Amino acid sequence: MTINHLPDNLIYGRHPVLEALQTGKAFDKLFLQKGLPPDTFKTLLQLARQLEVPVQMVPPEKLNRLTGNKNHQGVAGFASLIATFELEDVLAAAYSGAVPPLLLLCDGITDVGNFGAMARTAACTGANGIITPQKGSAIVNAEAIKASAGALNNLPVCRVRFLDQAITYLQQNGVKVVATDVSATQWLHETDLNCPVAFIMGAEGKGVSHKFVKMADERVKIPMYGSFNSYNVSVATGIVLYEALRQRLF
């Protein structure tokens, strides 16, 4: 099955991708074909590392599906549809506002629909930005932007190399990092959110990584009835961000 309509932000072929990288175009991810001679992508890989673009080695079948069997020459990539920001700049802007900073850290959120819905809620509750790792996170494609109702065009997104370094940076700059955890003993509404706060939200099923739970300043649980042990991550995000908004308004 071939793709009749390729995404507008898909760039494929060695020279087009190389030229895009050389002009500083931001990419969400590059896909390189496995099994080709090492020197084939030497310059591409060097530029990708310099620009901190995530690279995934894939079989040719994957590239064929992405490009609709076009002549991809072993390389394709998705150019970023939105601008990304440095965490330092976003935090500085947040501190300059009238209310304490409110940020969202995404741990393993790969579903673009969930990511878009989380961005929409973040914008509605006054969050200052979303922080995601470069690897293992949702690509901001047209579907994600649609799910966000356009919020991703305005809400700053920071793509960091390592989430643990971002957490440490936030803590060093006076931000309380709060992890959602079903085994926590403290309820969400019991923690003070009328201060600089960053919530860590984990993927459904896995939740927040144990490493990041240990790094958090506080662990909180969200009230639930019945036999379920977790909400959909976008719903959970709405609950925690609304609680922060509620405490700040009333």
The answer to whether 39 touches 65, Cβ cutoff 8 Å, is: no
Enumerate residue ranges in the chain where pLDDT < 70.
1-4
Token match 């530029």: residue? 47
Query: Using one digit for the tens of pLDDT, what is the confidence trace for 67-108?
Result: 998 999 999 999 989 988 999 999 999 999 999 999 999 999
What DSSP string runs through 23-90?
Answer: TT--EEEEEEETTS-GGGGHHHHHHHHHTT--EEEE-HHHHHHHHTS---TTEEEEE-SS----HHHH
Amino acid 204: pLDDT = 73
Amino acid 2: pLDDT = 43
CB atoms within 10 A of CB 58: 16
Three-state DSSP class for residue 142:
helix
The CATH number of domain 87-249, selected from 3.40.47.10, 3.30.450.70, 3.40.1280.10, 3.40.50.2000: 3.40.1280.10
Amino acid 131: pLDDT = 97
CB atoms within 10 A of CB 125: 19
CB burial of residue 36 (10 Å; 0-12, 13-18, 19+): middle
Amino acid 4: pLDDT = 54
Amino acid 1: pLDDT = 37
Rg over alpha carbons for the chain, rounded to the nearest Å, is 20
* CATH code assigned to 10-79: 3.30.1330.30
The answer to whether 233 touches 114, Cβ cutoff 8 Å, is: yes
Domain locations in the chain as residue ranges: 10-79, 87-249
Q: Which residues contact 83 (CB under 8 A, 6 or more apart)?
A: 26
From 105, 243, 98, select the one nearest 175 (Cα to Cα).
Answer: 105
